[in-house]
């Protein structure tokens, strides 16, 4: 856990602006600090929180916001399956407690660990807990000081989270075989956005396209290996 926490510290500062934005938007939508804490602590998924807040009106569209968050977070299911080498020895509250802290950044760090031959669930939990703690602190600061952090649309700080995710792709890049599914995910997501589909559909369309191509590639590779 300590090793995972140290690895996460290197990227938590880059995620701080995203948490501030969630806090600011929560205040703008009329959520109290307690409501913001509950949402951020239990959901702990910045993109789905932001989409839900963008949909938020009075009265609150509970069903629409829930559906949007569900669609965006469907990617967590294949991510959890990919972490089976780390999680297959866990059961009960240890398994579900570790999965509760799973986010994209902790996933990328842990996949890099798996490919390096290390399979330690404590690494994943340590990284996730540090990111959760940082998230809660930044969301709180954003909400408390919302009046002082009024950023215009398109401000560079809004790109910080995306830039961090792009940087995390570096350690999990396996070579040219990854190029096709990654490119397909990006192209399909951009096409869905260009077609006028709002969040979260471009994210889901890109994820499904990339996952399908990646799965097909792995199946072909496995079939060739068995024939040999």
Give per-residue pLDDT as tens, 40-82.
999 888 877 877 887 777 777 777 778 777 777 777 888 888 8
* Confidence label for 228 from pLDDT (cuts 50, 70 and 90): low
Q: What is the mean pLDDT of residues 201-228?
A: 77
Other CB atoms closer than 10 Å to residue 48's CB: what's the count? 22
Q: Where are the domains of the chain?
A: 2-173, 174-228
What confidence score (pLDDT) does residue 132 get?
93
Counting residues of the chain whose pLDDT is more than 70, the rounded percentage is 85
Give the number of C-alpha atoms closer than 13 A to the C-alpha of residue 49, restricted to the C-beta side. Answer: 26
pTM: predicted TM-score of the whole model, two decimal places? 0.68
Give the number of C-alpha atoms closer than 13 A to the C-alpha of residue 150, restricted to the C-beta side. Answer: 3
Q: Give the residue among 15, 25, 16 at the shortest CA–CA distance from 50.
A: 25
Tokens of 120: 């330690």
The full DSSP string for 7-76 is: HHHHHHHHHHHHHHHHHHHHHHTT--HHHHHHHHHHH--HHHHHHHHHH--SS--HHHHHHHHHHHHTTH
What confidence score (pLDDT) does residue 71 get?
72
d(CA 203, CA 185): 9
């Amino acid at each position: 856990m300590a090793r995972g926490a140290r690895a996460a510290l290197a990227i938590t500062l880059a995620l701080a602006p995203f948490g501030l934005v969630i806090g600011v938007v929560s205040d703008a939508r009329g959520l109290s600090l307690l409501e913001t804490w509950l949402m951020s602590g239990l959901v702990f998924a910045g993109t789905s929180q932001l989409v839900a807040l963008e949909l938020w009106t009075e009265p609150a569209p509970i069903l629409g916001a829930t559906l949007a968050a569900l669609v965006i977070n469907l990617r967590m299911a294949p991510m959890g399956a990919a972490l089976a080498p780390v999680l297959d020895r866990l059961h009960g509250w240890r398994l579900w407690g570790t999965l509760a802290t799973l986010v994209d950044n902790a996933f990328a760090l842990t996949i890099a660990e798996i490919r390096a031959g290390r399979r330690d669930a404590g690494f994943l939990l340590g990284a996730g807990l540090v990111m959760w703690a940082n998230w809660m602190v930044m969301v709180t600061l954003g909400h408390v000081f919302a009046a002082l952090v009024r950023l215009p649309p398109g401000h560079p700080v809004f790109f910080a989270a995306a830039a961090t995710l792009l940087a995390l792709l570096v350690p999990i890049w396996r070579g040219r075989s990854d190029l096709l599914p990654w490119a397909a995910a990006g192209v399909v997501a951009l096409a869905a956005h260009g077609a006028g589909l709002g969040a979260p559909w471009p994210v889901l369309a890109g994820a499904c396209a990339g996952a399908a191509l990646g799965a097909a590639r792995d199946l072909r590779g496995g079939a060739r290996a068995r024939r040999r």
